[in-house]
A and B are shown apart, each in its own frame.
Chain A
Amino acid sequence: MATIDLSKQSITEANELIRACGERGEDVEVLNPDARHHIGVGLTKPITVRVRGSAGYFCGGLTDGPNFIIDSNAGWGLADNMYKGSVVVGGNAGAIAGVAIRGAEVVVKGNLGSRAGQVMKAGTLCCAGNANFMAGYMMYGGRVIILGNSGEKVGEDMTGGDIFVGGEIQSLGSDAQVVEPTADDLKGVREFLDKYGLKFSGTFKKIVNAGTKLRYKNAEPPRRNIPFFTFSGTSGYWNEKVQEDVYIKSQIGRYRIRGYGAARPLPHLSDLAFRTDLSQAGKDPDLLKKIRMRTKLGDKHGARPLDLSMPVMIAPMSFGALSRSAKLALAHASRMSGIAENTGEGGMMDAQREAADQLIFQCLAGRLGWNVHDMQRANGLEIYISQGAKPGLGGQLMAKKVTKELAAIRGIPAGIDLRSPSRHPDVLGADDLVIKVEEFREATGHRIPVSIKLGAGRVRDDIKIAMKDQFDYVELDGMQGSTGAAGAEVLEHVGIPTLAAIQEALDALAEIGATGQLPIVLMGGIKDGVDAAKALALGADAVAVGTSAIIAGGCIACMQCHIGNCVVGIATQDPEHEKRYNTPQEAVHIHHFLEAMRWQLAAITQALGYDDVHKLNRKDLVATTLEAAAITGLPYEPQYRDAALQLKAS
């Protein structure tokens, strides 16, 4: 057995040693832990780690296989996202013990802190003492066994799984109910208690989901065929779209869900123009050879950066919202164009990993499909706080798309209207977030960049937090960003426009003396290379495209992504519909579009007299509307309006 003394070694050194012991199959004893955070994070081998004292946050987090024994207490996030393996805690555990576990056995001999087992998918979390506030909060599956009292609101918004309470049920959470445990249930619980030497002579009450909130009660009637481009056009008050909206609400009595982004006029990059005459842009046949476009992102804290052939990425979109075929087309196209693809919510597919040279793995609040193995094979890790289309809300995936396969990947029951949690179990403030970021770095040996995705709301504060919490870069998503499904009101009316978002971000960095120190990837309605060039000139370091990449790959913009019957096979999980999607062909189309963006970026850069796309700057820009001038502080030069239009047509 190897011994590691944390009074002599840093936690990063200790975790490297623990992983090396894992490779050798040697057990480890950790001395003087003194409640330090991140002990054993990222371990994927079945060794035993004995912690001689108390552990801090995320002990045993992001692991698969090991057995942890903690002699005394454990801090927040015990066994976070653990797959196989076990953790036994001699004392108490802090909040969110067993958060997002997917198979682990977690035993706490003392009491549990709040929200134990939040978003757990499988496995068992057992506590010999009392649980606290909202045990089993938003759990999707698995089993919680509480020998003492349940705490308030036990099973709050649980979707699946069972909670067994030996003591008093202090109060039931929303959508939870008490049922009789079956003989098999009790046998299983007994076996578990015997396995871990826990004695209990009382009787158990069982708590399960009551099934009142898993599906929307009334389905939306089919909408009329108003294409997005008509839908988003400027019009008077009582138009076709308003009439349809009133009608549908009269049928369903609730807010509506749709796909796509904000469909009302907002100040945007199209309200900016380049100051210089660009009519000669792009005439040089050797243009692409002359303009430097290569962009590295993510090495701010010593990680291996993304290495993009141009400052463009694919925006995060999930396998779930999109079909496997569409995701693969995006992955192939990203490789062909030398840029990065992003998993979005819901996990990483092997085929996607193979297809994309550079793949960012996105971590959302529900931890659906999140796991240490895919983290370790990703090129970037992204903590999603929110997105421009629906800041402050979680994803929505309607039942039709929650197939058995998809549910298995995400670790949730099939056939529910999945409303993903909007709030991370372990990110309730900047102070927790910094510990989460460090957990990701520990799990990946500090080798992979960690970024944060922000829907534009209180950008000023958020950017400062991102800077102080040591992210490598930020993905900033404005209100024009699209989604596979969101409440229509949120899509249209929540958040701030992309233009305002980037400006606030730049101002925030200037306010704390950090200009240029935190790369920003701007997204939310970036349509093409011209928009991208304007974003870069404003101060973004790169852009990401979602909607335009999807349209390039065959999307007809019907806004019915959420329904799951996508006629072109993009936003569907129905094999019959997906058959219509020709992945190799659409990958080439997306690639072509990305290459057109490259050419636009290069042509504008050259015409403005630079040899590097990153030399584009604010002096090159003017605002052609008062709103855009007020937002950006760029000079208001309305005479440039036509020039901007000509440029678009070129």
Chain B
Amino acid sequence: MDKRPITTRGFDMEEGEIVRIFRIYAMNRLLPLGFFAGLTKFRQLAVLTLIHGCGRLLFAWLMPHEARLTRLYAKLKKKRQKQQAQPPIAGA
């Protein structure tokens, strides 16, 4: 009997649970499998698959630039908030 850790290197449940969820998600679109309270959205699954699968490399690469990225995110967030707060132009 093979021995393996429960948590994978990508911090998923053993043997890639996210792939299994993807499979059930795809099947559930073809055939009703039961009540899953809306199951999930494709975008969420895609993000989670990416983060489980490539997160290790991605974070190792991005971490040294953490401070600059944080500043960038803050700037983008501020810009977005400003755009949302702007009143619509009259007659536009």
A, B bound: no
Residues of B within 8 A of A (CB): none
